[in-house]
């Protein structure tokens, strides 16, 4: 199956614990959740802070991301605003 939507290189992917969703993060600065059965995009997240390098599903089904700004965010699986769990470390 092909999942299309990112405009930059996909840096990492994660499969949900139930195997029904795939998450991807990209150098385009977005995170996306996809339906594994249909290939349809379920949600897109754009913190507006640069590339996103890491992604994982939390036990409660939310999406965790980490990126260029050194911040870890928790995103609701259906879309919406992310919550900053750990703010970026200074250089």
Tens of pLDDT, residues 5-62: 888 999 999 999 999 999 999 999 999 999 999 999 999 999 888 999 999 999 998 9
Mean pLDDT of 76-80: 84
CATH classification code of 10-86: 2.40.10.480
pLDDT of 89 reads: 67
75 closest CA partner among 42, 50, 28: 42
| 27 token code pair | 């150098």
Residue 56 makes CB contacts below 8 A (sequence gap 6+) with 14, 23, 63, 64
90 neighbors 55 (Cβ within 8 angstroms):
no
């Amino acid at each position: 199956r092909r999942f299309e939507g990112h405009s930059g290189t996909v840096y990492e992917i994660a499969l949900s614990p139930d195997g029904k969703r795939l998450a991807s993060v990209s150098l385009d600065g977005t995170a996306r959740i996809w339906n594994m059965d249909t290939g349809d995009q379920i949600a897109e997240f754009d913190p507006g802070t640069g590339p996103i390098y890491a992604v994982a599903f939390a036990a409660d089904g939310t999406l965790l991301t980490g990126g260029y700004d050194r911040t870890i965010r928790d995103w609701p699986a259906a879309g919406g605003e992310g919550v900053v769990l750990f703010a970026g470390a200074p250089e």
